């Protein structure tokens, strides 16, 4: 992993605890945009470099596209989209303030450990009065757990038969990934929402189409699953090696 620029580390350690960030400067994903399978594929593929460095900007871009897809499943999933979007705003703001140390997931982890940011949930920066900017590693851990679900779900969906239940696949994927971190009431609510709102496999595939041919869908989905799995496995290895899998 790359070392932290000394000047940047010194700057970070002298930031005023009352420094505020203008929340209006944070760009928000256009809610009128439409999900595009190719954009999702490009972001996931570009995130993974030849040396397995994971570019944070492309990771964020992939998640923004996933938020568009989740929002297309119905209003019952609006809270998920909002939660994910808020976490993406945290990472985007870190990148805006410090594009060098927050260029990749690896450099972000190294920097937050060396600077001591990893020791607390919040940084000395404020998005708005009373709302501190959380550290990047804690934020990424929550997104990483969700990515494990997405990776599992997409892999199973791609290999399932045409008459398979997408709701059952989603429930199973959730139980093996995100569900392990949720309380029973939350698990029950999410299982119920999935069963009531997730469309059948054919209708779900149509949401991926966006004027794409069957051949493009097959190629893109395969590349998405491969890149998504690489990102998820690499990130998990990083969190484990630095003992960060249980950040509060």
Virtual torsion, Cα 115, 84, 27, 139, nearest 10 deg: 0
The per-residue pLDDT string of the chain (248 residues; one tens digit each, 9 = 90 and over) reads 444 443 344 334 333 333 444 433 334 444 457 788 889 999 999 999 999 999 999 999 999 998 887 777 666 667 778 888 999 999 999 999 999 999 999 999 999 999 999 988 888 887 777 788 999 999 999 999 888 888 888 888 777 777 788 888 888 888 888 778 778 888 888 788 778 777 777 777 776 666 677 778 788 888 998 999 999 999 999 999 999 998 87
- Under DSSP, the state recorded for 122 is E
Per-residue pLDDT reduced to its tens digit, 66-114: 888 777 766 666 777 888 899 999 999 999 999 999 999 999 999 999 9
Residue that has been written with the tokens 């999933």 in this structure:
77
Residue 11's pLDDT is what? 38
Q: Specify the fold of 37-241.
A: Glycolipid transfer protein, GLTP (1.10.3520)
Q: What does each C-alpha distance from 79 to 85, 131, 198 come to in angstroms?
A: 10, 19, 15
Output the six-digit token pair for 141.
């851990």
Strands (E), the chain: 122-128, 131-134
Beta carbons within 8 Å of 126's beta carbon, 6+ residues apart = 18, 19, 20, 21, 132, 133
CB 136 within 8 A of CB 112: yes
Residue 1's pLDDT is what? 43
């Amino acid at each position: 992993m790359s070392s932290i620029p000394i000047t940047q580390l010194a700057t970070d350690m002298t930031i005023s605890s009352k420094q505020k960030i203008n929340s209006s400067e944070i760009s928000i994903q256009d809610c009128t945009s439409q999900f595009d399978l190719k954009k999702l594929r490009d972001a996931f593929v570009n995130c993974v470099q030849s040396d397995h460095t994971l570019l944070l900007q492309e990771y964020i871009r992939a998640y923004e596209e996933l938020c568009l897809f989740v929002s297309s499943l119905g209003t019952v999933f609006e809270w998920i989209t909002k939660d994910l979007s808020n976490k993406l705003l945290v990472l985007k703001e870190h990148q805006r303030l410090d594009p060098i140390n927050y260029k990749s997931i690896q450099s972000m982890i190294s920097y937050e450990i060396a600077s001591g940011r990893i020791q607390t949930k919040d940084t000395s920066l404020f998005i708005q009065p009373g709302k501190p900017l959380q550290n990047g590693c804690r934020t990424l851990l929550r997104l990483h757990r969700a990515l494990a679900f997405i990776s599992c779900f997409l892999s199973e969906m791609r290999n399932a038969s045409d008459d398979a239940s997408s709701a059952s696949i989603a429930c199973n994927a959730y139980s093996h990934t995100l569900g392990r971190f949720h309380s029973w009431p939350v698990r029950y609510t999410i299982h119920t929402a999935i069963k009531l709102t997730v469309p059948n496999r054919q209708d779900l595939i149509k949401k991926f189409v966006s004027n794409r041919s069957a051949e493009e869908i097959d190629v893109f989905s395969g590349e998405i699953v491969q890149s998504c799995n690489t990102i998820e496995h690499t990130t998990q290895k990083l969190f484990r090696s630095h003992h960060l899998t249980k950040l509060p």
